[in-house]
C-alpha cells in the first residue's frame, strides 16, 4: 500500500488543457516527456511543426476521422493494448494526449447515428438523421469509458484538451426578463458531460493566443472560473509561454531548483 508521503508533483500528472482554437493546447501537451501518443480527434497534430523544442521523433498519433467505421472499437482496443502491455512489462508511452474532448464527443455522435437510425428507427428531417436521446446516451457513455480507460493507464502524464465557449447568464439574476450577458465560459461539450469530466483532473489549465505589438503570443492561466490546480506553487495571473516548452515552464515552478539543476 503506497504512502502519500512518497507523492511528488511530477510522479502523476492528470490534466485538462482548455482554450479556444489555435491557443497552443496541443503544443503544450506534447511538450511533456516522450515517448508520447496523441489521440488526434481534431486533426491538428501538425500544430507541433511550429514548435522546434518538441522532439517529434518521440511522438506517435492516431487520427480519428469522425465518420470512420468502427471508431469506438478502435479507441477501446488501443487503450486496452496499452493496459495489457503494461501488465507484461512492455514499454508504453510516458505521455498520452486526447485531443480534443470537444471533437471526440462530436465524433461519437456521428458513430451513433447509423446505429440508432437503422431499419427506419430514429427521427429524420428529409434524409438527415436527427440526434436523439439514444445518441446522447452513447456519447456520454463512450466518453466516460474513454476517460476511465485513460485514468487506468499507468502513464505518468494523461492530458485531455478541450475547447471553450462563452457562458451566458442574466444581467440581473432576479429579473427573468433581464438581458443575457456573458458571465464566464464553459467547455464546448454538452453541459452534463462538461461538468462530470472535470472531476477526473487534478489540473485544468486555460490557454490563450493574443496579438502583442503585432506579434503572436501564447499564454496560460492556472486559475480562472474554470481553471484550477493542485500545485500551490503555480503563480496567479497570466503567464507568457511564447516560444517555450510548457513542460519546462511548469516544472520550473513545481520542482525544487536543486532538482532542476541536476537535469532530472
What's the predicted TM-score (pTM) here? 0.87
Q: What is the pLDDT of residues 92-137, one digit of tens each?
A: 999 999 998 999 999 999 888 888 877 677 787 677 777 888 888 9
Cis peptide before 35 (omega within 30 of 0): yes
What's the rounded mean pLDDT across residues 202-222? 94
What phi and psi, each to the nearest 5 degrees, are found at residue 127? Answer: -100, 5
On the 0-12 / 13-18 / 19+ scale of CB atoms within 10 A, 211 is exposed
What's the rounded mean pLDDT across residues 193-218? 93
Residue 41 contacts residue 107 (beta carbons within 8 Å)? yes
Q: What gap in Å lies between CA 237 and CA 223, rounded to an integer?
A: 7
Of 173, 166, 169, 192, which Cα lies nearest the Cα of 181? 169
Of 122, 144, 140, which Cα lies nearest the Cα of 131? 122
Q: CB-hemisphere CA count at 13 Å for 44?
A: 19
Residue 232 contacts residue 254 (beta carbons within 8 Å)? no
Q: What is the pLDDT of residues 163-187, one digit of tens each?
A: 998 888 888 887 777 888 877 899 9
- Mean pLDDT, the chain, rounded, equals 86
Q: CB-hemisphere CA count at 13 Å for 162?
A: 27
Amino acid at each position: 500500500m503506497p504512502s502519500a508521503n512518497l507523492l511528488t508533483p511530477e510522479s502523476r500528472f492528470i490534466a485538462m488543457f482548455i482554450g479556444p482554437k489555435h491557443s497552443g493546447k496541443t503544443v503544450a501537451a506534447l511538450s511533456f516527456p516522450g515517448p508520447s501518443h496523441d489521440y488526434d480527434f481534431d486533426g491538428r497534430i501538425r500544430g507541433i511543426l511550429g514548435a522546434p523544442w518538441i522532439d517529434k521523433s518521440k511522438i506517435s498519433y492516431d487520427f480519428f476521422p469522425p465518420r470512420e467505421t468502427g471508431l469506438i472499437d478502435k479507441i477501446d482496443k488501443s487503450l486496452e493494448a496499452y493496459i495489457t502491455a503494461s501488465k507484461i512489462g512492455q514499454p508504453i508511452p510516458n505521455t498520452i494526449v486526447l485531443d480534443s474532448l470537444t471533437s471526440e464527443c462530436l465524433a461519437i455522435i456521428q458513430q451513433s447515428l447509423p446505429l440508432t437510425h437503422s431499419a427506419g428507427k430514429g427521427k429524420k428531417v428529409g434524409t438527415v438523421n436527427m440526434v436523439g436521446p439514444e445518441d446522447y446516451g452513447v456519447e456520454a457513455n463512450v466518453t466516460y469509458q474513454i476517460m476511465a480507460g485513460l485514468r487506468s493507464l499507468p502513464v505518468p502524464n494523461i492530458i485531455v484538451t478541450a475547447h471553450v465557449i462563452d457562458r451566458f447568464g442574466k444581467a440581473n439574476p432576479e429579473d427573468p426578463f433581464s438581458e443575457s450577458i456573458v458571465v464566464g465560459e464553459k467547455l464546448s461539450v454538452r453541459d452534463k458531460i462538461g461538468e462530470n469530466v472535470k472531476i477526473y483532473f487534478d489540473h485544468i489549465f486555460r490557454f490563450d493566443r493574443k496579438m502583442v505589438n503585432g506579434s503572436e503570443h501564447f499564454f496560460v492561466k492556472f486559475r480562472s472560473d474554470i481553471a484550477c490546480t493542485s500545485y500551490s506553487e503555480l503563480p496567479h495571473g497570466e503567464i507568457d509561454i511564447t516560444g517555450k516548452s510548457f513542460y519546462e515552464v511548469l516544472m520550473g515552478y513545481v520542482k525544487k531548483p536543486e532538482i532542476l539543476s541536476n537535469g532530472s
